[in-house]
Amino acid sequence: MDTTNPLTLVIGATGNVGRHVVRTLAGRGHPVRALTRDPERARAGLPSGVDVVTGDLTRPETLAAALDGVGRVFLLWPSFSADGVPAVAAALATAPRHVVYLSARNVRDDRPVAENGIWGAVEDALRGSGVSWTMLRAGGFATNTLAWAGQAHTGVVRAPFGAAARSLIHERDLADVAVAALTDPDRHAGAVHDLTGPETIAQAEQARLIGEAIGRPVRWEEQPPDQALAELSEEYGDAEMAAASLAYWATLADQPEPVTDAVERITGHPARRYRDWAADHAADFLPAAGVRRVADQYVTLMRAGRLDALDALMAPDVVRVAPLETGGDPVERRGTAQIVANADRLLADVEINAVDVDPPLLDDDRFAVRFRFDQTHTPTGARSSTTKLSLYTVTDGLISREEVFYYDAPQAVST
């Protein structure tokens, strides 16, 4: 295994998990290469400095150039077909390197490979190739509930088995575990990690939490299984797989999915709750109404204190224009990394006690939000408040510019 070369190839770099793997590695200063079928489109959504290359797992011969100089690989298999699996595993094993594979919890070591689906087939090929590996056997993805996005904003989710209790996992937790295994391959080589969310929640409760995130009630309406089977068969393009999914969900009312502590044990932080995931994805459940959708999501996250999730609403090259804290002409900062670094510097000695957020005001491709901050200067204990207005410009569904205006100088707050 090559532990001296930290260059990581991320296969599936624009997917729900892969994009967080890329951002986290790049944000920590690790060299990253992203494999994609469409480099031009991928570059727009990935951090600057990431090496974006063309490649396709269905054409294993395209992998040689992408793997040149790579010591570590994050692997997400892109389909339910096992075509090409042995060739890809062989390509990964052409040099000493470590592969972290995002597999599934339904893979079992006590049954034949053929009964473990595509995930088991990839695992078996990696084991047989001689390459160093870590298997991330993930439970249900919270992102799968985005299938309800077309219904939730109407106030009703109609689906089968509302009592089915699942331990869904946030895609950012999967990425965090993957990064841990990629950056410390000696520790994780040969490990099989069983990954779930931190709690078991019935599907009907998931719908309610989505409603809480988007600020409108959402109730569950039980759908007859035969209707659901017809819809899922069309969606999956595989009636057998649809029937197996429904049969599994039917068991979860009496036998809820288990919960493991693997995320916290590996990453050092608790696994994110489904409530947090719903808040992070609130905009995805609102009607696609351009600026309105972005504005509503932004305000929802601010009110929930989910500042860490705002990055998903920002264009990679977002511009922020704000007055200098010492006065003078406004200063322009470009890119989320530069903006976050400046915010961290300004807030190093500040504790935010509360933030009041007004509803957004919309105008064509822009929206404005007024904030009132109650904060404490931690070195002195002095408490103050200030009010500001931010004007946001939305381009292609992301915030591309923020202009900050202060209503007043900080005011003392009585304790």
| pLDDT tens digits for range 81-122 | 888 999 999 999 999 999 999 999 999 999 999 889 899 999
| pLDDT tens digits for range 38-90 | 887 777 778 888 999 999 898 888 899 999 999 999 999 988 888 899 999 99
Domain-located, residue 1: no
Q: Are residues 44 and 148 in the same domain?
A: yes
Q: What is the per-residue pLDDT for 388? A: 87
Contact 355, 390 (CB under 8 A): no
Boundaries of domain holding 276: 8-219+227-280
Q: Are residues 195 and 332 in the same domain?
A: no
Q: In sequence order, what are the residues at sequence separation of 6 or more whose Cβ sits closer than 8 angstroms to the Cβ of residue 109? A: none
Per-residue pLDDT at 185 exceeds 90:
yes
Contact 363, 380 (CB under 8 A): no
Measured CA to CA, the distance from residue 34 to residue 93 in angstroms comes to 18
Q: Are residues 107 and 160 in the same domain?
A: yes
CATH number of residue 61's parent domain: 3.40.50.720
Task: Scan for tokens 């031009």, then name that residue.
Answer: 40
Q: Are residues 242 and 161 in the same domain?
A: yes
Contact 375, 383 (CB under 8 A): yes
Domain-located, residue 332: yes
Distances (CA, A) of 172 to 51, 143, 407: 22, 11, 36
Measured CA to CA, the distance from residue 96 to residue 1 in angstroms comes to 5
Give the DSSP H or E segment for 249: helix 239-251
Q: Are residues 274 and 292 in the same domain?
A: no
Measured CA to CA, the distance from residue 396 to residue 316 in angstroms comes to 12
Per-residue pLDDT at 2 exceeds 50:
no
Q: Are residues 114 and 258 in the same domain?
A: yes
| pLDDT tens digits for range 204-246 | 999 999 999 988 899 999 999 999 999 888 888 888 889 989 9
Domain-located, residue 3: no
Q: Are residues 16 and 130 in the same domain?
A: yes
Q: Are residues 51 and 186 in the same domain?
A: yes
What is the number of structural domains in the chain? 2
Q: Are residues 335 and 209 in the same domain?
A: no
Q: Are residues 63 and 211 in the same domain?
A: yes
Domain-located, residue 2: no
CATH number of residue 314's parent domain: 3.10.450.50
Q: In sequence order, what are the residues at sequence separation of 6 or more whose Cβ sits closer than 8 angstroms to the Cβ of residue 41? A: 14
Closest CA to 179 of 2, 14, 29: 29
Please state, for a pLDDT cut of 70, what percent of the chain lies above it: 94
Contact 200, 256 (CB under 8 A): yes
Q: Which amino acid is at 408?
A: D
| pLDDT tens digits for range 270-282 | 999 999 999 999 8
Q: Quick one: average pLDDT of 374-391?
A: 89
- Which of these three, 280, 301, 325, is where a domain ends? 280
- Which of these three, 280, 296, 317, is where a domain ends? 280
- Which of these three, 280, 297, 321, is where a domain ends? 280
For residue 52, give the 3-state DSSP assignment.
strand
Mean pLDDT of the chain: 89
Task: Scan for tokens 């390509």, then name that residue.
Answer: 91
Give the DSSP H or E segment for 138: strand 132-138
Closest CA to 212 of 287, 263, 274, 123: 274
Contact 158, 251 (CB under 8 A): no
Q: Are residues 261 and 294 in the same domain?
A: no
Measured CA to CA, the distance from residue 158 to residue 148 in angstroms comes to 8
Per-residue pLDDT at 247 exceeds 70:
yes
Domain-located, residue 398: yes
Name the region of 376 (left: φ>0; alpha: ψ -120 to 50; beta: rest).
beta
Measured CA to CA, the distance from residue 80 to residue 348 in angstroms comes to 47
Domain-located, residue 383: yes
Q: Are residues 132 and 192 in the same domain?
A: yes
Domain-located, residue 51: yes
Q: What is the per-residue pLDDT for 1? A: 47
Closest CA to 187 of 111, 267, 288: 267
Residue 246: phi, psi to the nearest 5? -65, -40
As given in the structure block, the two tokens for residue 21 are: 């793997």
Q: In sequence order, what are the residues at sequence separation of 6 or more whose Cβ sits closer than 8 angstroms to the Cβ of residue 46? A: 13, 14, 19, 22, 23, 26, 34, 52, 316
